[in-house]
Amino acid sequence: MRIAVIGTGYVGLVVGACFAETGNDVVCVDKDAAKIRGLNKGKIPIYEPGLEEIVKRNHAEKRLRFTTSLPEAVQRCAVIFIAVGTPTGEDGSADLKHVLAAATEVAQSMNGYKVIVDKSTVPAGTADLVHSTIARHARHPYAVVSNPEFLKQGAAVDDFLRPDRVVIGTTDTRAADMMRELYRPFTRTGAPIMVMDPASAELCKYAANAMLATRISFMNEIANVCEAFGADVDRVRQAIASDKRIGSAFLFPGVGYGGSCFPKDVKAIIKFSADKKYKFRILQAVEDVNEAQKLRLLTRVDKRFGKKLKGKTFAVWGLAFKPRTDDMREAPAVPLIQGLLARGAKVRAFDPEAMHVARRIFKKQITYARNAYDAIKGADALLVVTEWNEFREPDFERMKKLMNAPVVFDGRNIFDPRQVRELGFSYSSIGRP
């Protein structure tokens, strides 16, 4: 099939590359000319495991192309995915301006029957809105499909190639059949393709992200209560995880969730529920807990060092909102570092992939270390903010020699409290004595 993907970001690039990988002819469109120029020269704009290889291979084999010309892509293709951003608007809603701008341009460029697929995360009712937006300009038949994307950054390629399920929201049988055909290679292991009405499909994505965010905030609160009682959240977590009704995923406490999806999707569901006069009380609490949790390590720092940190240096391990990505959108590291800087501290930071992103955010305000050990040189304390594997088994003796004082605030519970304390560190983590 000939497929156009509009928006070549974290989702669009993965979707385009994976559809090309199964033999389709794919053209990825973006209005960011520098990004498209880079991609045409083999420069991958984001870090995502396995992505570079399939982009380069399919580009070389001419199944995957990149352009800034949306009309050319639309005219060439039968199926058009819209995978542009849906950022948080001023009132917390999902801002649909990019989706509707793309839909308008698609409508103006159509030269025959097209299936237009909303891949972006959009509130219930958006498929109807896209439909009416296109109707204003289109002179050819078309169908609108909602096809939310469930991939997670850090494992996006794998998730797309081996989805747990595919959700297709449409009442148009021809479009549903085309979508089934497109996804068949990815669902041979038996993953279901679920066809439903567009509004239900749109809500699936928000419900999934809201549930996962709820589990994280819930466990962060359990961890905070554990601290109050001197209990160990790891013990509690393992005990409840072995209950089949609960399961083990998304039960790790930490410094809060971040990224481009959970924060904005939780806000959006609160807002669109409120628009229908429904107050989503649980999710308001989930959000409040998360905001407070992001500053939990800072409160610890205040307790130990006071609020004036002039002359003190803090090392930060991990800047991306989670491991195996370079994405720092809504990353807990950002408010944490801002808090340290506001108290007069110096910050030396390291992340295996996100340094180039951090440079754009913090400019000359912090020091960018070459590696994890370089970050802790002369540091009065280390804050672990992202649980990259390479931080898990460090040379603690070397750390002690490099640091000004052996103090660790572990926001991701990656070290064994007894072991590091025996080695002479002052150590605190989340929800563990």
The site for ligand NAD (CB under 6 A) is made up of 6-12, 29-32, 35, 70, 83-86, 98, 101-102, 120-121, 149, 151, 153, 260-261
User: Cα(145)–Cα(350) distance, rounded to whole angstroms?
Assistant: 42
Residue 133 · residue 97 · CB < 8 Å: no
Spatial CA neighbour of 130 closest among 165, 178, 169, 73: 169
Residue number with CB closer to ligand NAD (87 or 185): 87
Closest residue to ligand NAD, judged by C-beta, is: 9
What's the burial of 76, exposed, middle or buried (CB within 10 Å: 0-12/13-18/19+)?
Answer: middle
Residue number with CB closer to ligand NAD (10 or 317): 10
Shortest spacing between CB 63 and ligand NAD, in angstroms: 20
Shortest spacing between CB 84 and ligand NAD, in angstroms: 4
- Quick count: other Cβ atoms within 10 Å of Cβ 230? 8
User: Cα(82)–Cα(103) distance, rounded to whole angstroms?
Assistant: 8
Residue number with CB closer to ligand NAD (35 or 432): 35
Residue number with CB closer to ligand NAD (30 or 351): 30
Residue number with CB closer to ligand NAD (142 or 314): 142
Residue 401 · residue 425 · CB < 8 Å: no
Residue 197 · residue 169 · CB < 8 Å: yes
Residue number with CB closer to ligand NAD (20 or 226): 20
Shortest spacing between CB 121 and ligand NAD, in angstroms: 4
Shortest spacing between CB 189 and ligand NAD, in angstroms: 21
Catalytic residue among 18, 28, 77, 261: 261
Shortest spacing between CB 401 and ligand NAD, in angstroms: 39
Shortest spacing between CB 247 and ligand NAD, in angstroms: 21
Write the DSSP string, 165-181: -EEEE-S-HHHHHHHHH
Residue number with CB closer to ligand NAD (27 or 115): 27
User: Cα(280)–Cα(200) distance, rounded to whole angstroms?
Assistant: 18
User: Cα(26)–Cα(15) distance, rounded to whole angstroms?
Assistant: 10
Spatial CA neighbour of 228 closest among 430, 15, 418: 430
Active site residue 261: yes
Q: Which two tokens stand for residue 121?
A: 């995360």
User: Cα(97)–Cα(100) distance, rounded to whole angstroms?
Assistant: 5
**Which of helix, strand or coil describes residue 350?**
strand
Shortest spacing between CB 320 and ligand NAD, in angstroms: 12
Residue number with CB closer to ligand NAD (329 or 348): 329
Residue 249 · residue 219 · CB < 8 Å: no
User: Cα(428)–Cα(433) distance, rounded to whole angstroms?
Assistant: 8
Alpha helices in 230-351 (DSSP H): 233-241, 262-275, 281-294, 296-305, 333-342
Shortest spacing between CB 230 and ligand NAD, in angstroms: 37
Residues 6+ apart with CB under 8 A from 414: 384, 387, 391, 392
Catalytic residues: 261
